[in-house]
Structure 1
Amino acid sequence: MTPAFTTRPTLKGRHGMAAATHWLATGTAQSVLERGGNAFDAAVAGCFVLHVAEPHLNGPGGDLVGLVAPRGRDPRVLAGQGPAPARASIAHLRSLGLTSVPGAGGLAAAVPGAVPALLMLLRDHGSWEFADVVGYAIDYAHAGVPVDRRWADILATVEPLFREHWPSSYELWMPSGRVPRAGETVTNPVWAATLERLVKESRRGRSRAERLDAVLVAWREGFVARGVTATLARPHRHADGGDHAGVLTMADFAAFRPTWERPLTYPFRGVDVVKPPAWGSGPVLLQALALLSGFPDAELDPSTVAGVHNVTEAFKLAFADREGHYGETARIEPLLADDYLARRRALIGPAASLEWRPGGDLPYVPELRTPDGADRAGVGEPTVRASGETRGDTCHIDVVDADGNIASLTPSGGWLQSSPAVPELGFCAGTRLQMTWLDEGAPAALRPGRRPRTTLSPTMLVRDGEVVEALGTPGGDQQDQWQLPYVLRRLIGGYGPQRAIDAPVFHTTHVPSSFWPRTWEPGGLVVEERLGDEVVAGLRRRGHIVTVSGPWSLGRLSAVGRDPATGELSAAANPRGGLGYAAGR
């Protein structure tokens, strides 16, 4: 692999580094580090700011998956994915005439898990008080943040839905009676007041842990749970065009506990790649790497025809296994066994496969629907219909401090177009249940009390027992697809972090979307224009159905790292979209 063009330098330093999908979150995290907070304080503060700065991509009513590694300890998964409510059953949704979970509206709401997970991270590994951590978000919610073009476009798309069916959302996001324009400042004083009320709750305890637990009680048993459940209980417009009542209850809120879990790992070219388990999509990247490990380095360059082809074909097989096997109780080990991988690797030939090819014992085969013109999801970044249904989503933040503590968090869901805003709280619930199937035979079926399968998928790289890098990106089903070329360029190509982020990427749409209405495009391959005409032509000759996207259009990846030998820290962030930045010193 040859070095790629770089838009900015990889940052280097020793005090601390942060990188995120929005510069306000990066600046917040770095400020926390400068004021003596550790990486976990900084990451939590940054996530609360992301709720304010990118409300069209995440929110307090959504979910979060993270990888967290205190210096000298193995990474752990921060599981902030809430389960389906007790009344969210296949039978109930079928009784409403639904054949799938709608992509917007309260029926798609899992128990909000992001804030409880952030509180647990702060309690178990942070050092700051809740009031200090959320002070940045309170300030931005009062003073306002600039609306970017994507945010303004999404509001313009859902304006009729808000005006006609979700008046609380219209009042919150269009207080002047019109859609805010890109560049204008938007405030959220209602969410600021909610945080300030939670700060008052945090003063009840004697110890720091008791004070944080008091916030959590107010969230899941007090005024927050009451507000969310009352709003969703009122029938409201869903993405299917019908008016339905949600089923989330106070008991669902009270029962949820975020958890610390062991991640999955796979060794690739001398580095252990760390991912969340198979209740998410993370093992897809591990399976793809395991399949590619049998190819010579020369055939894994993501800037060549052979490299793009091999990566794409590996992902097709891994995603087929995801649909066939992944879910809350899935065992991924058989899918990473050497003999199984050898059989699957033999299916990667010189021509693009247009077939759906799951492996393993009795794999589930979902309904494979091809999209019509209205269903096409574009290039993978947020696509929103007037109904509020969203494809592509999410935010991301990575932080490393001088002591070597490192965190990689992917908050998502609860975006402003998910469901009607809770008038007294300033946010809405999420729609993660749209990733479940209304089919009892599916491993990712909708089941009361079970977590829906999520696409949230941060990554850590471990060398000789120490975490050397943490990374992630928004993008729904594209998250692991955009991260894998980065990993290949770092571990095989010798690219630095910023060059690996800047290099052109691609993804296959040969997978049923995790987002409603769950369509797939057999043989579909989306590539950035910068891959070049010669590579595109070569891929088409191999049978790929190629869509050429803009030169800087795919992914919003960020990364931080630490060299164990020298203690030097690094950070890099994506220039695509103009909002992602790294900072540090």
Structure 2
Amino acid sequence: MPGFTTRPELRGTFGAVSSTHWLASGVGMGVLERGGNAFDAAAAAAFVLQVVEPHLNGPGGDAPIIACPAGASEPVVICGQGPSPAAATMDRLVGMGLDLVPGSGLLPACVPGAFGAWMTLLRDHGTLPLREVLAPAIAYARDGHPLVPRIPAAIAAVKELFEAHWPTSAAIWLPGGAVPESGRLFRNPALAETFERLLTDAETADGREAQIGRALDYWYRGPVAEAVDRFYREAEIWDVSGRRNRSLLTGQDMADWVVPVERPVHADYGRFRVFKCGAWSQGPSFLQALGMLSGLGLDGMDPLGPDFVHVTAEAIKLAFADRDCWYGDSAPVPLEALLSPAYLAARGALIGERASDAFRPGSPGGQAPVLPPLRPAGTLREPRVGTGEPTVAKEDARGEAPTTAGGTHRGDTCHVDVVDRWGNMVAATPSGGWLQSSPAVPGLGFALTVRGQMFWLKPGLASSMAPRVRPRTTLTPSFAFRDGKPYLAFGTPGGDQQEQWSLLLFLHHAHHGMNLQEAIDAPAFHTDHAPSSFWPRETAHGTLTLESRFPEATVSELRRRGHQVTLGDAWSEGRLSACAREADGEAHVVKAAANPRGMQGYAVAR
């Protein structure tokens, strides 16, 4: 690869932060400068992301976190993916005449897990007072932040929906009845006041840990949960099913939830041990793809050549077929069998010379898979605004984000990575609570997650709709040890593309000798071969989308091999970020890189 990169791979010794918005990265570094650790910095940055990227995440969303304290033998997973309501039964939704869980409105709401996850991280691993962590987000909500172009675009796409059906959202996002302007300061005083009230209540307790505990009670068993319960019990809200629906979520669902703290799953790959969230996420598919690609000679493949693109895309197709048949939280997942070397070698042997158009799940342990509904792309004939998170919008390098052909604005997600001078590291992928997908809760200044759209209304799958279980989320932070030491925290927004783009970063770094910025800048691709995780759950078998920077010879050869290639814009794939730490005895170097696409993500290091 050429030596030129859009930005340098940043290096230093003090600390590094990388995220999908420069304001969050700056706030995270400020926390490190004031003596906070990586966990304090990640939480502060994440709360800022909730304010400055409200079309991508919010306080009522989701946030899987992988945290690795200095000296730990493995990281921990803090599961900020909340479960379905107690009333969320398949029979109930099918009885309403639905064949899919809607992607917007109140009906797909799950317990909002992001706040609980960040509080758990702070309580267990942070050092700073809660007010100091929340102060930057409160200031941006109260005093304003400059709007990036995608926010007004998102609001414009759902303006009529807000005006006709979601007045609580119109009150926040259409100040004076108009779409706010790009680059102008935007304020959300209701959100600032929600956090201020929470802090005032929390600070009646003595001590940092007690205050965090009181903040959790305020959110999940106090005024926030009461406001959610009141609105979600009483309101009937229009959604993409084409009618008004009530919610299944109650304040009791929030009160009953405790944030899970779990061991990650992992796989060894050369010098690396890669850690992911469990099969309630799509994380293990990354590990499955690595197992299928092991031994295929990736070191000798041109990263821009047809061989590398072909085998990687085919491995992703196979891994995602297993994801959609075997992953979830509604039934036991045969994860040990899915990750076994013998199983993955047999799966990898299915990668042939030509692209496969088939949906090919495996049979781990001899179990026959239950297939999810396979809905061809284009099945939905009536475009409807206000959907969930169809994340791959073609945009230009300036971040101008279009709508789909039917007028539906495409949503997305956020990511943040942090490493500090002591060796603490964090990777987190906050999402959900998108302003365009769910009506704002009166008095709170934010909307709730619609992650329930990822459940299938078909029995027999580990991701079938059931009460009090986690939807099989797409959110998937990544973490890797190298030579037995914590090394790399990384990830990206992108829904079903998250695992694909993260895999490319890792393979380019591990096999092709690219530094972190080179790996992020490198031309990227994705396939939509598997069913979308988001309403209306469509699939496009055999498709492969490449950035137009790939050589013409690569494109021609991939088409000859049977891939249905679409060329995207030159800088249209991925929003990766990464932080790393190289340690040699007492000496260490921190590294960071961020995505130039969209001109929004940024890394900071010193």
> TM range, normalised to the smaller chain?
over 0.9
> What's the counterpart of residue 575 of structure 1?
596
Identity %: 47
Instruction: Measure, in 2, the Cα distance between the counterparts of 1:130 and 1:388.
Output: 41
Residue 354 of structure 2, aligned match among 351, 354, 369: 351
Aligned 8 A contact 1:138 1:192 in 2: yes
Residues 146-199 of structure 1: CA distance to partner in whole angstroms, max 9, x if unpaired? 122211111111011000000110111011211112212211000000000011
Instruction: Measure, in 1, the Cα distance between the counterparts of 2:411 and 2:239.
Output: 19
Instruction: Measure, in 1, the Cα distance between the counterparts of 2:403 and 2:89.
Output: 26
Q: CA deviation at 1:215?
A: 0.6
Aligned 8 A contact 2:542 2:563 in 1: yes
1:138-177 map, 5 Å: 138-177=138-177
Q: CA deviation at 1:386?
A: 11
Residue 418 of structure 1, aligned match among 398, 421, 437: 437
Q: CA deviation at 1:379?
A: 3.8
Q: Is 2:316 the counterpart of 1:315?
A: yes
SS in 2 for 1:563: strand
> What's the counterpart of residue 95 of structure 1?
95
Instruction: Measure, in 2, the Cα distance between the counterparts of 1:206 and 1:53.
Output: 31
The 1:4–1:350 alpha-carbon spacing in structure 2 relative to 1, beyond 3 Å, is: farther
Moved more, 94-103 or 336-345: 336-345
Instruction: Measure, in 2, the Cα distance between the counterparts of 1:408 and 1:417.
Output: 26
The 1:409–1:388 alpha-carbon spacing in structure 2 relative to 1, beyond 3 Å, is: farther
> What's the counterpart of residue 204 of structure 1?
204
> What's the counterpart of residue 251 of structure 2?
250
Instruction: Measure, in 1, the Cα distance between the counterparts of 2:428 and 2:163.
Output: 34
Q: CA deviation at 1:495?
A: 0.7
> What's the counterpart of residue 536 of structure 2?
517
Aligned 8 A contact 1:160 1:386 in 2: no
Instruction: Measure, in 2, the Cα distance between the counterparts of 1:364 and 1:51.
Output: 37
Aligned 8 A contact 2:154 2:410 in 1: no
Q: CA deviation at 1:378?
A: 8.0
SS in 1 for 2:17: strand
> What's the counterpart of residue 484 of structure 1?
503
Instruction: Measure, in 2, the Cα distance between the counterparts of 1:21 and 1:379.
Output: 15
Q: CA deviation at 1:399?
A: 0.4
Aligned 8 A contact 1:4 1:503 in 2: no
Residue 368 of structure 1, aligned match among 367, 374, 377: 374
Instruction: List runs of 5+ in structure 2 lacking aligned partners.
Output: 384-389, 395-400
Residue 402 of structure 1, aligned match among 421, 424, 428: 421
Aligned residues between the structures: 584
Instruction: Measure, in 1, the Cα distance between the counterparts of 2:403 and 2:272.
Output: 38
The 1:4–1:521 alpha-carbon spacing in structure 2 relative to 1, beyond 3 Å, is: farther
The 1:574–1:187 alpha-carbon spacing in structure 2 relative to 1, beyond 3 Å, is: same
Q: CA deviation at 1:395?
A: 0.2
1:26-105 map, 5 Å: 26-73=25-72, 74-105=74-105
One-letter amino acid of the structure 2 residue matched with residue 573 of structure 1: A
One-letter amino acid of the structure 2 residue matched with residue 291 of structure 1: M
Instruction: List runs of 5+ in structure 1 lacking aligned partners.
Output: none
Instruction: Measure, in 2, the Cα distance between the counterparts of 1:579 and 1:464.
Output: 33
Residue 507 of structure 1, aligned match among 526, 536, 540: 526
Instruction: Measure, in 1, the Cα distance between the counterparts of 2:295 and 2:180.
Output: 52
Instruction: Measure, in 1, the Cα distance between the counterparts of 2:284 and 2:103.
Output: 24
The 1:307–1:5 alpha-carbon spacing in structure 2 relative to 1, beyond 3 Å, is: farther
**TM-score of the superposed pair, with normalisation by structure 2:** 0.94
Instruction: Measure, in 1, the Cα distance between the counterparts of 2:231 and 2:570.
Output: 42
Residues 539-561 of structure 1: CA distance to partner in whole angstroms, max 9, x if unpaired? 11111001100111111100001
One-letter amino acid of the structure 2 residue matched with residue 353 of structure 1: S
> What's the counterpart of residue 442 of structure 1?
461
The 1:503–1:490 alpha-carbon spacing in structure 2 relative to 1, beyond 3 Å, is: same
SS in 2 for 1:425: coil
One-letter amino acid of the structure 1 residue matched with residue 467 of structure 2: P
Q: CA deviation at 1:439?
A: 1.1
Aligned 8 A contact 1:38 1:405 in 2: yes
Residues 54-101 of structure 1: CA distance to partner in whole angstroms, max 9, x if unpaired? 000000111110110000112111111100000111111112211110
SS in 2 for 1:437: coil
The 1:389–1:98 alpha-carbon spacing in structure 2 relative to 1, beyond 3 Å, is: farther
Aligned 8 A contact 2:412 2:494 in 1: yes
Instruction: Measure, in 1, the Cα distance between the counterparts of 2:156 and 2:253.
Output: 33
Instruction: Measure, in 2, the Cα distance between the counterparts of 1:290 and 1:178.
Output: 52
Instruction: Measure, in 2, the Cα distance between the counterparts of 1:202 and 1:65.
Output: 24
Instruction: Measure, in 2, the Cα distance between the counterparts of 1:378 and 1:540.
Output: 25
Instruction: Measure, in 1, the Cα distance between the counterparts of 2:393 and 2:352.
Output: 26
SS in 2 for 1:579: coil
Instruction: Measure, in 1, the Cα distance between the counterparts of 2:404 and 2:545.
Output: 21
Instruction: Measure, in 2, the Cα distance between the counterparts of 1:478 and 1:380.
Output: 11
Instruction: Measure, in 1, the Cα distance between the counterparts of 2:407 and 2:96.
Output: 20
Moved more, 289-298 or 193-202: 289-298
Aligned 8 A contact 1:5 1:502 in 2: no
The 1:384–1:433 alpha-carbon spacing in structure 2 relative to 1, beyond 3 Å, is: farther
Instruction: Measure, in 1, the Cα distance between the counterparts of 2:489 and 2:47.
Output: 20
> What's the counterpart of residue 225 of structure 1?
225
Q: Is 2:331 the counterpart of 1:325?
A: no
SS in 2 for 1:525: strand
Q: Is 2:538 the counterpart of 1:532?
A: no
Aligned 8 A contact 1:40 1:125 in 2: yes
One-letter amino acid of the structure 1 residue matched with residue 489 of structure 2: A
Residues 316-355 of structure 1: CA distance to partner in whole angstroms, max 9, x if unpaired? 0000001111112313110122221222111100100001
Aligned 8 A contact 1:158 1:385 in 2: no
Instruction: Measure, in 2, the Cα distance between the counterparts of 1:405 and 1:166.
Output: 42
SS in 2 for 1:106: coil
> What's the counterpart of residue 135 of structure 1?
135
Instruction: Measure, in 2, the Cα distance between the counterparts of 1:504 and 1:477.
Output: 18
In angstroms, what is the RMSD of aligned CA positions?
Answer: 1.7
Residues 208-267 of structure 1: CA distance to partner in whole angstroms, max 9, x if unpaired? 111110111110011101111222221011111110110111110101111211111111
Instruction: Measure, in 2, the Cα distance between the counterparts of 1:579 and 1:339.
Output: 42
SS in 1 for 2:539: coil
SS in 2 for 1:408: strand
Aligned 8 A contact 1:324 1:363 in 2: yes
Q: CA deviation at 1:441?
A: 1.3
One-letter amino acid of the structure 2 residue matched with residue 529 of structure 1: S
> What's the counterpart of residue 20 of structure 2?
21
Instruction: Measure, in 1, the Cα distance between the counterparts of 2:445 and 2:576.
Output: 28
Aligned 8 A contact 2:392 2:494 in 1: no
